[in-house]
Amino acid sequence: MLLVRCDEVVAVTRATPLRLMRWQDMTTTLHPETLHSMTGFDPSEPAILHDLATDRIITWTGDEADDFRRAGMPREDGTVAWRQYVFDGWGNVLGG
């Protein structure tokens, strides 16, 4: 299994320490249409983000907020490209 982290992909085995599993690798259970548009995303707040490039939900802790604000590239289609990701929607971590 591969674990997608904010800045890398980590191979996960039974011996992988739990500290490496902070970022979850989940298949999409929410349709991107049910998520908020990226225009309302506050990178300093915890959230879930849908990565259009991999069709995965990424857990966002807010730790990378400054870099996201600096390097995130809003695109004409409403997505935001940042590092290897193309985010097209976000949701609150508690489902709100």
Q: How confident is the model over 43-73, as pLDDT tens digits? A: 999 999 999 999 999 999 999 999 999 999 9
**80 near 73, Cβ under 8 Å?**
yes
Instruction: Decide if 72 is inside a domain.
Output: yes
Number of domains into which the chain is organized: 1
Instruction: Decide if 12 is inside a domain.
Output: no
Residue 18 CA to its chain's centroid (Å): 19
pLDDT for 96 equals 53
| 38, 66, 70 from 54: Cα distances, Å | 17, 24, 23
Instruction: Decide if 14 is inside a domain.
Output: no
Mean per-residue pLDDT of the chain: 78
Domain span at 67: 25-91
Instruction: Decide if 59 is inside a domain.
Output: yes
Q: Considering the entire predicted model, what is its pTM?
A: 0.66
Instruction: Decide if 20 is inside a domain.
Output: no
Instruction: Decide if 38 is inside a domain.
Output: yes
Strand-pair category, 26-27 with 47-51: unpaired
Instruction: Decide if 79 is inside a domain.
Output: yes
Q: Is 8 exposed, middle or buried (0-12, 13-18, 19+ CB in 10 A)?
A: exposed
pLDDT for 23 equals 44
pLDDT for 4 equals 47
pLDDT tens figures, 6-16: 444 445 455 54
